């Protein structure tokens, strides 16, 4: 892990190797959190998706009429998402986000959990800056006691609730920050507790 980048090279390499199978892994037909996120947006809202993976969530939002910009840091996953969506997917790592008040919302499902803990605050600040006033932001994290790797070699920041709350407080003037704990799983098949976080930009 480099000291000056907000990504982990080993984790990105994993997703490049596994892109084809990861992109078609079974997922629930409905995603109530995504549905709730979309319901809170105005019709046609501009949405930036970070870590779009195979493109399933972007596909759902596009079908709902939103102006979606799908992005991923893995070239392999970006290519798989392009096949699904039939449109370009921007290859962008989190630390490369430099938009200014460009989006009504940011959707970051199960992706910022790979940001090295010491760089998460910077990424959250970049997201804050990229949102328009009143913008909505959703992200999810696997809870834990600090950064570690899973059995597949992927890095996770594994924050505690208290640490994540502090990071959000320090990374922009977020308002209406809500954190909900819920059981979940992942590609490695290991049950985890997730923190689902929604925040607004004033």
31-45 per-position pLDDT tens digit: 999 999 999 999 999
pLDDT for the residue 5? 61
Contact 74, 45 (CB under 8 A): no
The closest of 107, 83, 72 to 20, measured between CA atoms, is 83
In this structure, what DSSP letter does residue 42 have? P
The reported pLDDT for the residue numbered 4 is 44
The residue behind tokens 């994290």 is 141
CB atoms within 10 A of CB 107: 26
Question: Average pLDDT for residues 7-14, to the nearest whole number?
Answer: 94
Task: Compute the half-sphere exposure of residue 58: CA atoms within 13 Å on the CB side of its CA.
Answer: 28
pTM (two decimals): 0.95
Please answer whether residues 115 and 94 qualify as being in contact, where contact means their C-beta atoms are separated by less than 8 angstroms.
yes
- Looking at residue 3, its pLDDT comes to 39
Instruction: Say how far apart CA 71 and CA 114 lie, in whole Å.
Output: 15
Q: Which two tokens stand for residue 110?
A: 């199960």
* Percent of residues, the chain, with pLDDT higher than 70: 98
Q: Is 60 exceeded by the pLDDT of residue 2?
A: no
pLDDT level of residue 65 (50, 70, 90 thresholds) = very high
Residue ranges and CATH numbers for the domains of the chain are: 9-200 (3.40.50.150)
pLDDT band at 27 (very low <50, low <70, confident <90, very high): confident
Q: Which long-range contacts (CB under 8 A, 24 or more apart) does 27-35 make?
A: 27/56, 31/57, 31/60, 33/109, 33/138, 33/140, 33/196, 34/60, 34/61, 34/107, 34/109
Enumerate residues 6+ apart whose C-beta is below 8 A from 3.
none
User: For 91-100, how does the pLDDT look when each residue is reduced to its tens digit (9 = 90+)?
Assistant: 999 999 999 9
């Amino acid at each position: 892990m480099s000291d000056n980048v907000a990504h982990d090279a080993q984790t990105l390499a994993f997703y490049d190797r596994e892109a084809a199978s990861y992109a078609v892994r079974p997922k629930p037909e409905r995603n109530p959190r995504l549905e709730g996120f979309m319901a809170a947006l105005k019709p046609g809202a501009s949405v930036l998706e970070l870590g779009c993976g195979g493109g399933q969530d972007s596909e759902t939002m596009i079908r709902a009429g939103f102006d979606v910009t799908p992005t991923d840091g893995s070239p392999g996953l970006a290519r798989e998402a392009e096949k699904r969506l039939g449109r370009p997917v921007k290859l962008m790592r989190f630390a490369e986000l430099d938009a200014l008040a460009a989006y009504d919302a940011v959707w970051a499902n199960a992706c910022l959990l790979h940001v090295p803990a010491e760089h998460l605050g910077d990424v959250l600040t970049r997201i804050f800056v990229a949102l328009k006033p009143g913008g909505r932001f959703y992200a999810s994290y696997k809870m834990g006691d600090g950064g570690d790797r899973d059995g597949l070699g992927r890095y996770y920041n594994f924050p505690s609730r208290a640490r994540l709350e502090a990071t959000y407080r320090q990374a922009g003037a977020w308002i209406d920050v809500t954190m909900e704990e819920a059981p979940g799983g992942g590609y490695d098949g290991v049950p985890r507790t997730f923190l689902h976080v929604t925040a607004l930009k004033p």
